[in-house]
Chains A and B, each alone.
Chain A
Amino acid sequence: MTTAPESPRLALKAPPLSRLHEWVVTVDHKKLGLMYITSGLLFFIIGGLEATMMRWQLAWSDMGVVMPDEFNRLFTMHGTTMVFLVGMPILLGSANYLVPLMIGTRDLAFPRLNAFGFWLFLFGGLLLYFSYFGGQGLYGMGSAPDVGWFAYAPLTERTFSRGHSTDYWILGLLVSGFGSIATGINLVATILCMRCKGMSLMKMPIFVWIMLIDAILVVIAMPPLAASQVMLLFDRSLGAHFFDVQGGGSAVLWQNLFWFFGHPEVYILILPAFAFVSEIIPVFCRKVLFGYPLMVAATVAIGFISLGVWVHHMFAVGLSPAVNTAFMASTMLIAVPTGIKMFNWVATMYGGKIRLHTPMLFSLGFLVQFLFGGLTGIMLAVVPFDWQVSDSYFVVGHFHYVLFGGLVFTIFAAIYYWFPKVSGKMLSERIGKWHFWTLFIGFNLTFAPMHVSGMLGMPRRIYTYHADRGWEIWNLISSIGVLFQIIGVLFFAWNLLRSLKKGKPAGDDPWDAWTLEWSTPSPPPAWNFDVDPEVRSRRPLWDKKHPEDPDWKYE
């Protein structure tokens, strides 16, 4: 076993200011990846606290915890934060950290562009949050955006949204969006230009394949959002009429433009979840991923189809039956490749030797919950049903099952899985299991009842409801679930801080895994690999550990 080099320990001894300086000026993919993920997790805490306030307000009918305008800011900032400042940085950060290690190279294709992308993201996020102090609201008070995360026109026009809060929303996302595009380009270039010897496209780890498709989607989907936001900005500051209904502009146009970005964005967020579990499940089942070529094909298919389903967010807009029917078909079609992935993961488990360590627990949580979210997604594709539950709590429940039950659970799985590589220390399995079970229970308590309250007529984004509606019990259960989730996240934070100080040493390859990152020390040296790796199969370390039965014989 190779021991970690001395340099990290030396770095710890440097004075704080020069250590800070080192992080600020770094162009190293691992440091930038960690900064992405850390800022994502901090924004996750902020977004979570916003959600907690909302659940408190909605726990019972006619509550007065927050004023209506404050509530509207809370859900706007919660949604915007979770999508753009939590999901995006964590996916870009993990790709940043892992892709070069998995394809056996030194860094991303454009290291300085990488740093640029990160700082754009971070300052975009901070600009958005500065609105709490700088956004001119009533009486000169600070005012965060309150137009919802998809900012439907004409509510965002100057007539209805005075002050500057909406401008902060536009500019914050515009700046961080440019950062995402830069990093997306960087990741595609890295994957297509920097693979080590022997790693043809079909010998890449599935993680890298999925991140490739994901990064391409980022490059394609973010510019239309930027263009739309620029138009909205011109409306607000120069008096243009793009979304100004009084001036002949169209309110539905914004929805088309936003969701043309917005739906691929949903897949941009969920694809990394697929990437994480596609690496983790095989390792903890001790089996090769079932049906790798079909998994790749399914990923490509999802990428393509996701560009053609956006109107399913607009079934209740009053478009023609023909348009609705066509987009219902494309939306249902995307269920097929997603289903294939689901089946292949289960087939990977079949006949394996399953070790229920924390990363696997979270991955199983993902399977169970994402299945539910996927099925409610198919239900929502059914236009007549969507007419009832669109914009209701059913939808809120659905996308939290996908993005929280799916993405966030796999983010935790990924952190438990790769933390030993990143820090050289193991996270505590005992606390990890407490973390999983409290979060699992809390998550389901919170979001399962939302499907019911939605079907019972509760629209989303209402700051209160009257007692005669019969929604209290479902909302109360939802709010109680939040307490469990908070406890879960506290376990996680404790585990993280405790293990950084006194976690068990991890060694190079604590999980007996198969991809290249486990062949280098933990934490990896700045140069990643002492010798340029060569691979002959998708699981180079399997070949090394099982020379009598290597993968390349079967691929």
Chain B
Amino acid sequence: MSTRVYSAAMTGVTPRPVSVEVHLGKTNSKFGLVGLPDTAVREARYRVRAAMASSGYEMPRSEVTVNLAPADLPKAGSAFDLPIALGVLIADGKVSIRHPGVVAVGELALDGRVRSCRGVLAATLVAVREGIPCIVPREMAAEAALVPAVDLYAVGGLAEAVSALEGRMAPSSSRTPEAPTLPVPDMADVRGQEFARRGLEIAAAGRHHLLMSGPPGMGKTMLAKRLPGILPRFTGEEEMEVACVWAAANRRRPVRVRPFRAPHHTASVAGLLGGGSGIPTPGDLSLAHHGVLFLDELGEFPAHLIDALRQPLEEGLVTITRRGVSVTFPCRALVVAATNPCPCGWSNDTVRQCRCSPASVERYRRRLSGPLLDRFDVRVFLGRMETGEMTGSPGEPSEAVRKRVSRAREIQARRGGLNGDLSSAALDALAWSGKARRVLGGNIDRGNLTGRGYDRVRRVARTLADLGESERVESVHVLEALSYRTGV
């Protein structure tokens, strides 16, 4: 017996092929299903039987045993209905298969229709790797089309799937010509706040984590939401990685747009980092992989949550262990945090009075310091303007900013990594002009800069030089970089 029908399951963010083995025995009319199925998979037996009958195929009169191999990989969901039905039909000799193998995914309705289900992306990825065609529910064709170069059959029913199997149907093109792109809010909507805009651009260019502080209503959230729009466009590889993470979370995400996740400060560790019962799923941190993780009201996040973020952010990976199963998710997110300068939000405002006691302000700010806060290279304060900037002309559109950001990233790529990841040693090895070194030295002597602050300023200065397409870091870059380390 040779298996030619496959499905897929995710382990962490890795899609793994699952072969659907069907054995027809001698005894009468039994249907066994093995290979760590969850309840939904186990119930596939009933759906498969009914769907086959409705589509005009008879169930074999012998004992049917279906094994989903590898048997120790947990399988979940309804996506195995279609491959099981196809596997049974092939084993029974009712259907011949024209392909060396096929990956199929889909939930069966009792009347034989194929419904949408989770795991489509995993299946298409497996299909690409194995070099075989893929059968998916018609409603899921767009998600499947994310993966280039796969012969795709989008089917509406079991009968149609059979005709795809027998080669009586032409594959749809591997990639839909124009995948829908969600509109992302544009920077042009932001009037004024030039300093914060610049901070955003730097953060995007060097993937520096960004901390925005300022009184309520100055546009912190508005700016953060516009960050995905100025990040460089996805590379195919990045988009695939993101798609895999989201597939692991059983989430469908808008295609072609960098993710933006804004967990609330009441979120659980599992919600933020990943976890959950059973198979660990990625949390918001990983769902923001290659995108933006926005922590609004950072001062309200409990300390343990903030601490938990630190290591994953440094490593770009988060490892979740549950009942002996250890799964690693990527989390190269750009973190943007927003905070008020004090509990009431109006400290240092030129118009409104702060109502906080000095002690409570002190306490609030102390919470905003610590190891994670050290990772925010770019810090901007959004202040009130003296006159009505709301009447000003619209800001520069995102696309123009994105061009500069992309250019700066290309330059960094040639050096071998993003500036936000540069270590002290790597910073030492960069090209600095004599004057730039003197400015840095002078600020250390004056006590303006201490160890970590020194590295932050140097990282930002390097990004400023890249934005200015300057080979060497000049003194002007360092001088400007000094502006982005103001505390809360």
A, B bound: no
